[in-house]
């Protein structure tokens, strides 16, 4: 296993330090000289555990020393540590009484991969989306002030959070609303992909300027040596003067936060002394620290995008098992790249996720028509609108859970103006071990009531390519597609895709007793249920709906009038989902055929493997059969299904 060069020989007794950490008080009690060894043990444990469970390895390896220093200086749960995104909170979990459960990370009924208020009193705020910490932390600070309390509020935000507009909305209000507020800017140059845009360049300019580099080194020595407030105040004033010479306007100071740094985010004594000083300040402050994503593990340093979040891997080498079946994301990136070879109007947009969305393949083929806007979904949607007004065909490729952040733009800008924007919603449906912050279970509901939008979902990879081709050739308004995480059925796409008739379902087989509409990746389950019903002599019609909006109302009405029970299956919440749309339409036509709906209940679904969660919440073929049988009268004996 590749480990950090800074690893320390175990203490003379051979005792392990990490196993003795049961609460933050144990970290405070350790001699400072033991802290590098603790950091190494934490890294070793992270690599060992996550190689078996998967998870966000790179971000957590990068914040080991920072988390140690935070718990040395601050006292949770009284003091509030707010981690932006919170995927870098694994070390914090180890230090707050959850070390014995760290091996359950992202496993069903185990620890969540993000911070969770219901999991521990030490988790001040739960999140899974970037850019939320500054606003939430400011709310905590103002609440503390109103209640006359004295807790410290520390927000840890990566530099990627500064690509989120909401972060600036918070910064705009800090100085006017509180005097005691600490922001730690964890600068590692990466979100998931390498950070892009002017802010990343701005921070890099601060870090790499030779004169300023000398200055912050000098300031760091001052901080280490301080015996009182006065000398550090002097150090800051000296530093500020140089900054004014080098950078006409340090943006954080202009926004009202006293800026300190940048300093080494892996130097525990320096971090500790700096935090001791900062918590005594009677003004909002921002500490800029420099860290290395994946520190201490060479494979994660070499491939920080891969090791941001991954499945199981071989700890010694960092190798993962190569998938034999391409994922929907990979197919999207390669397919759009192929389409763009002959269609110059196709452009692709992502929000800091070129690898996750598969657009890295498109980027390699067409770098001039690929745009990574950072973690800025609202801007991405509006940017797509502008491109569409110029006659281009933008494919806005964002996870379903993150597309929620651009909902106003979808309604107010894309749909209202009927712009030719293609919405590609990756990770639609359950996202398994990522948990409730990442499940894409709401996009049917939030798009279904919006006028002008076409929405669809493929049953397999071949149909997925046909749908992408249909989207590329659709020129009369917005069109959306949802598709699941990972691989599909293994159906190989045809050499030449075909245009699909919008609003026309695929009738796979006819039947007279039950009609099952299996949407998208639930079509396989519909087939399983059909086989189980047919084994009991029940005649089953099997339909691949394809279209969520517009619904194929003709096919729906035909079967609703022909069978005893109609069923819908969807990887989405039942409220305002596909099945709900079916029931609404049948009600308007006064068709009273019973409708059995299979989908997710009205609650936030926990993390775990998809088979376990489907079994628990009743999304199985057996559950469908159990619901259908009591509604059937005498089946149409001897009637066998026939292909359409």
The CA–CA distances, whole Å, from 342 to 338, 346, 494 equal: 8, 9, 18
List, in order, residues 6 or more apart from 146 with CB less than 8 Å away: none
Catalytic residue at 405? Answer: yes
Q: Taking the mean position of all CA atoms in its chain, how far away is CA 436? A: 10
What are the strands of the beta sheet with 642-643, ordered from one edge? 595-600, 565-573, 514-518, 540-544, 506-510, 642-643
**In terms of Cα–Cα distance, which of 571, 329, 546 is closest to 441?**
571
Active-site position among 180, 273, 293, 393: 293
List, in order, residues 6 or more apart from 543 with CB less than 8 Å away: 505, 506, 507, 508, 515, 516, 517, 518, 555, 559
Is residue 252 a contact partner of residue 147, using CB atoms and an 8 Å limit? Answer: no
The SS3 of residue 225 is helix
Is residue 312 a contact partner of residue 106, using CB atoms and an 8 Å limit? Answer: no
State whether the Cα torsion 568-503-461-113 is positive or negative: negative
d(CA 364, CA 369): 10
In this structure, the number of other CB atoms found within 10 A of the CB of residue 186 comes to 24
d(CA 276, CA 150): 15
Active-site position among 377, 461, 463, 570: 377
Catalytic residue at 377? Answer: yes
Catalytic residue at 243? Answer: no
Residues facing 598 on adjacent strands: 569
d(CA 271, CA 277): 10
Q: Taking the mean position of all CA atoms in its chain, how far away is CA 23? A: 29
Active-site position among 405, 427, 448, 597: 405
Known catalytic residues are 293, 377, 405
């Amino acid at each position: 296993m590749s480990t950090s060069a800074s690893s320390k020989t175990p203490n003379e007794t051979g005792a392990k330090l990490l196993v003795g950490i049961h609460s933050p008080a144990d970290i405070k009690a350790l001699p400072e000289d033991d802290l590098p060894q603790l950091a190494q043990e934490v890294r070793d444990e992270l690599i060992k555990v996550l190689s078996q469970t998967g998870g966000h390895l790179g971000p957590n390896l990068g914040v080991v020393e920072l988390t140690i220093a935070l718990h040395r200086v601050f006292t949770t749960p009284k003091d509030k540590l707010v981690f932006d995104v919170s995927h870098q909170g694994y070390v914090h979990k180890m230090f707050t009484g959850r070390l014995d459960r760290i091996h359950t990370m992202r496993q069903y009924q185990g620890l969540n991969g993000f911070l969770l208020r219901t999991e521990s009193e030490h988790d001040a705020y739960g999140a899974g989306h970037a850019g939320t910490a500054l606003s939430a932390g400011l709310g905590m600070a103002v609440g503390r002030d109103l209640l006359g309390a004295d807790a410290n509020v520390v927000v840890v935000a990566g530099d990627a959070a500064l690509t989120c507009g909401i972060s600036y909305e918070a910064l705009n209000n800090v100085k006017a609303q509180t005097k005691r507020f600490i922001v730690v800017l964890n600068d590692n140059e990466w979100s998931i992909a390498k950070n892009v845009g002017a802010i990343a360049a701005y921070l890099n300019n601060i870090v790499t300027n030779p004169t300023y580099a000398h200055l912050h080194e000098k300031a760091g020595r001052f901080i280490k040596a301080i015996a009182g407030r006065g000398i550090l105040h002097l150090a800051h004033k000296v530093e500020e003067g140089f900054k004014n010479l080098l950078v006409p306007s340090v943006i954080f100071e202009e926004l009202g936060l006293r800026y300190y740094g940048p300093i080494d985010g892996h130097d525990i004594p320096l971090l500790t002394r700096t935090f001791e000083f900062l918590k005594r300040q009677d003004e909002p402050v921002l500490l800029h620290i420099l860290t290395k994503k994946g520190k201490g593990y060479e494979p994660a340093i070499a491939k920080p995008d891969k090791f941001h979040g991954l499945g199981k891997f071989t700890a010694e080498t960092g190798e993962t098992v190569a998938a034999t079946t391409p994922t929907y994301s990979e197919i999207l990136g390669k397919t759009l790249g192929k389409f763009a070879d002959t269609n110059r109007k196709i452009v692709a947009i992502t929000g800091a996720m070129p690898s996750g969305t598969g657009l890295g393949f498109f980027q390699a083929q067409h770098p001039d028509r690929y745009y990574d806007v950072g973690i800025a979904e609202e801007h991405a949607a509006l940017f797509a609108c502008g491109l569409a007004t110029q006659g281009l065909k933008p494919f806005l490729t964002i996870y379903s859970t993150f597309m929620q952040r651009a909902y106003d733009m979808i309604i107010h800008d894309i749909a209202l103006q009927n712009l030719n924007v293609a919405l590609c919603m990756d990770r639609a449906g359950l996202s398994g071990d990522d948990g409730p912050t990442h499940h894409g279970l709401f996009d049917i509901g939030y798009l279904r009531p919006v006028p002008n939008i076409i929405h669809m979902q493929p049953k397999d990879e071949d149909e997925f390519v046909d749908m992408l081709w249909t989207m590329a050739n659709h020129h009369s308004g917005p069109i959306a597609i949802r598709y699941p995480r990972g691989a599909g059925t293994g159906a190989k796409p045809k050499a030449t895709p075909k245009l699909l008739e919008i609003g026309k379902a695929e009738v796979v087989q006819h039947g007279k007793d039950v009609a099952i509409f299996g949407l998208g990746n639930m079509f396989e389950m519909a087939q399983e249920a059909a086989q189980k019903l047919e084994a009991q002599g029940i005649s089953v019609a099997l339909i691949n709906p394809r279209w969520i909006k517009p619904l194929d109302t003709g096919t729906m009405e035909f079967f609703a009038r022909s069978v005893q029970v109609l069923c819908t299956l969807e990887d989405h919440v039942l409220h305002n989902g596909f099945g709900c749309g079916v029931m609404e339409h049948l009600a308007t036509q006064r068709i009273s055929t019973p409708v059995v709906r299979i989908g997710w209940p009205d609650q936030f679904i926990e993390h775990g493997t998809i088979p376990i969660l489907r079994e628990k919440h009743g999304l199985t073929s057996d559950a469908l059969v159990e619901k259908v049988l009591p509604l059937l009268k005498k089946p149409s004996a001897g009637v066998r299904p026939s292909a359409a």
